Copies of this chain bind each other. A is one copy, B any other.
Amino acid sequence: MSQDDFDQLCAYARETAILQSIAELLGWDERTKMPPAAGDFRAEQMTYLSSLVHRRQTDPKVGDWLDKLAASDLASDPHSDAGATIRQMRREYDKLKKLPQSLVEELTRASVLGQQAWVEARKNDDFATFAPILERIVELKRRQADAIGFTECPYDALLDDFEPGETTSNVARILEGLRSELVPLVAAIADSARKPDLEILKRRYAIDKQEAFGKQAAAAIGFDFNRGRLDVTHHPFCAGMGPNDCRLTTRYDERFFPSGFFSILHEAGHGIYDQGLRADQYGLPPGTFVSLGIHESQSRMWENMVGRSQPFWRHFFPQAQQVFPDALRGTTLEEFCFAANDVRPSLIRVEADEATYNLHIIIRFELEQALINDGLAIKDLPSAWNEKYREYLGITPPSDADGVLQDVHWSAALIGYFPTYALGNLYAAQFYAQAARDVGPFDDHFERGEFSSLLGWLREKIHRQGQCYAARELVENVTGSPLSHDALIAYLREKYTGYYGIS
């Protein structure tokens, strides 16, 4: 009997996943192919699909199936496929049911208005016109936290949307540890007399050749173009829209090689995770990524730990020299890699290097907690932002446009999302160190253009686990230790000590 209920629940969830996969295609198309004038109708299509999905996800029969399955044998092992399915679907159902429909609609509306206001405010460097809608969004997010419920602080309820099962206090503890070591490290790098020659990266790199070279590298590290593709967009992203359909996007700058190439590696890292999920469990928790932080760990590992390493370029640099002879003639591998690993405090998160990036995130995470938990007034947000940039990065934004207004997230009612970026870097370093212990060291592999030892380890340890374990459990299972900042700091220290000659 339980098996019948379970099969019905799964069939129902798979149909819902079909609608969600279609929504993904619409979103991808909107950002890559859609004609300019088609936006209004696309919004109608997306809204209609969202309503169909939401109606299905909150249908009482889902609750009935879950009630009947709660005490069944199928639910007894929470880490089995069936157990994880029942647990995760219960979690999702209860959470959606706790949110009043009116609040969902108010949040959707505030998010649309917020993004419109943000575009204008950023363009005009005018925080004051954005403040009222941001105030409204923060108020709605507090109401969301109250509706969902929390143990320690309201921010927990928001963080859980993106990093399920994680707590504010745990993330804060880890990021504070990271910050305390990162701030002096970044300062020491900034003080170093050694600097890379960035001009190397700003020579002419023809866009069609960048595309071909980037695709070749993405395929080499394991992205399957038979089950995916690569297109151009303004803000790179990766979208999965079926078990064999994962699409990467990037943007090219003819005069800045890293822009296109490292975005491709980053998105390919996301795509490799997506392609490593179990197709037979598509649309069900065992075939779904575990958290945004774990997703980001895969993109960051391939982009940075692999893609910015010298062994990687010992394989690819001779090819790059053939593809871009005018740009790279006379440049050494070491000069090129140093340029690709340039560290310097900067204003804009999305352009930040691997080391300072985490400080951008820590600032946002601390300010989000202040807004949600501690009642920081919106009017005081710009000065709080600038103060933290001065303290952690030693720079002060000359304008709100390049400061507190730079990111879309808050305007889109995404609060609790930012920390997953830093968690991604932390997970990546801890996983990578463990992988090197288990199947590495990788230097010789990468130098030969072999990435399958790392890929195979990730497939088994992470991708094929789906949501059978929460992110925190997964890290402990795979590395034997809870998440800490140690591996990331060790990795950064080792890398930059060499380049910058710091101690």
Q: Do A45 and B18 touch across chains, with their CB atoms under 8 A apart?
A: yes
Given A22-B22, A226-B36, A227-B35, verify A245-B48 contact (CB < 8 Å). Answer: no
Number of chain A residues close to chain B: CB under 8 A: 34
- Chain B residues whose CB sits within 8 angstroms of the CB of A1 once the complex forms: none
Q: Judge whether A243 is part of the interface by a CB distance below 8 angstroms.
A: yes
Residues from chain B with a CB closer than 8 A to the CB of A224 are: 37
Report A11-55 residues with CB < 8 Å from chain B CB: 15, 18-19, 21-22, 25-26, 29, 33-38, 40-42, 44-45, 48-49
Q: A48-B15, A49-B22 are in contact. Are A33 and B229 (CB under 8 A)?
A: yes
Q: Does chain B have a CB within 8 A of A225?
A: yes
The minimal Cβ–Cβ distance linking A19 to chain B, given in whole angstroms, is 8
User: Using an 8 Å CB-CB cutoff, how does the interface string of A225-239 with B read, 1 for contact, 0 for none?
Assistant: 111110000000000
Q: In the assembled complex, how far is the CB of residue A223 from the closest CB belonging to chain B, in whole angstroms? A: 11
Which chain B positions have C-beta within 8 A of A226?
35-37
Closest chain B residue to A244, Cβ basis:
B37
Q: Which of A15, A25, A38 has the most CB of B within 10 A?
A: A38
CA distance A228 to B19 in the complex (A): 25
A47 to chain B, nearest CB (A): 9
B29–A25 CB distance below 8 A: yes
Q: A35-B225, A226-B36, A229-B33 are in contact. Are A242 and B21 (CB under 8 A)?
A: no
Q: Compute how far the CA of A371 lies from the CA of B357 in the bound complex, rounded to whole angstroms.
A: 71
Q: Which A residues between 122 and 143 are near B, CB-CB below 8 angstroms?
A: none
A15: which B residues are within 8 A, CB to CB? 48
Q: Mark A52-69, 1 if CB is under 8 A from B, else 0.
A: 000000000000000000
Copies of this polypeptide in the complex: 2
Please state if A22 and B45 are interface contacts (CB–CB under 8 Å): yes
Q: Which residues of B have CB within 8 Å of A36?
A: 226-227
Enumerate chain B residues within 8 angstroms of A282, measured Cβ to Cβ.
Answer: 41
A21 to B45, CA, bound (A): 8
B21 close to A244 (CB less than 8 A): no
Contacts of A45 in B (CB 8 A): 18, 21-22, 242
| Closest CB in chain B relative to A267 CB, distance in Å | 15
Task: Report Cα–Cα, A244/B41, bound state, in Å.
Answer: 8
Q: How far is the CB of A238 from chain B (nearest CB, A)?
A: 13
Question: In the complex, how many angstroms separate the beta carbon of A316 from the nearest chain B beta carbon?
Answer: 24
Q: A35 and B243: CB pair below 8 A? A: no
Chain B residue at minimum C-beta to C-beta distance from A247: B35
Q: Is the CB of B25 within 8 A of A245?
A: no
The complex places the Cα of A237 from the Cα of B226 at a distance, in Å, of 24
Q: Is the CB of B25 within 8 A of A44?
A: no
- A191-243 at interface with B (beta carbon < 8 Å): 224-229, 242-243
For the complex, give the distance between the alpha carbons of A98 and B243 in Å: 37
Report the nearest B residue to A279, measured CB to CB: B41
User: Which residues of B are found within 8 Å of A246, using beta-carbon distances?
Assistant: 35
Give A249 Cβ to nearest chain B Cβ, in Å: 12
Q: Whose C-beta in chain B lies nearest to the C-beta of A229?
A: B35
Residue in chain B with minimal CB distance to A242:
B41
Known: A35-B226, A36-B226, A244-B35. A21 touches B41 (CB 8 A): yes
Within the assembled complex, what's the spacing in Å between the Cα atoms of A245 and B38?
5
With contacts A18-B48, A26-B25 taken as known, whether A41 is within 8 angstroms of B243 at the C-beta atoms is: yes
Hey, which chain B residues are within 8 Å of A229, CB to CB?
33, 35
Interface string of A263-284 (1 = CB under 8 A from B): 0000000000000000000100
A187 to B178, CA, bound (A): 86
Across-interface contacts of A18 in B (CB, < 8 A): 44-45, 48
Minimum CB–CB distance from A395 to chain B (whole Å) comes to: 42
**A42's contact among B42, B242, B247, by CB below 8 Å, is which?**
B242
**For the complex, what is the distance from the CA of A87 to the CA of B326, rounded to whole Å?**
69
Inter-chain CA distance A33–B49, complex, in Å, is: 22
Contact present for B26 and A22 (CB under 8 Å): yes
- Whole-angstrom CA separation of A337 from B75 in the bound complex: 74
- Complex A-B: 28 CB contacts under 8 Å: A18-B44, A18-B48, A22-B22, A22-B49, A25-B26, A25-B29, A33-B33, A34-B245, A35-B225, A35-B226, A35-B227, A35-B228, A35-B229, A35-B244, A35-B245, A35-B246, A36-B226, A37-B226, A37-B227, A37-B244, A38-B244, A38-B245, A40-B244, A41-B243, A41-B244, A41-B245, A41-B282, A42-B245
Q: Closest 3 interchain pairs by CB?
A: A38-B245, A41-B242, A37-B244
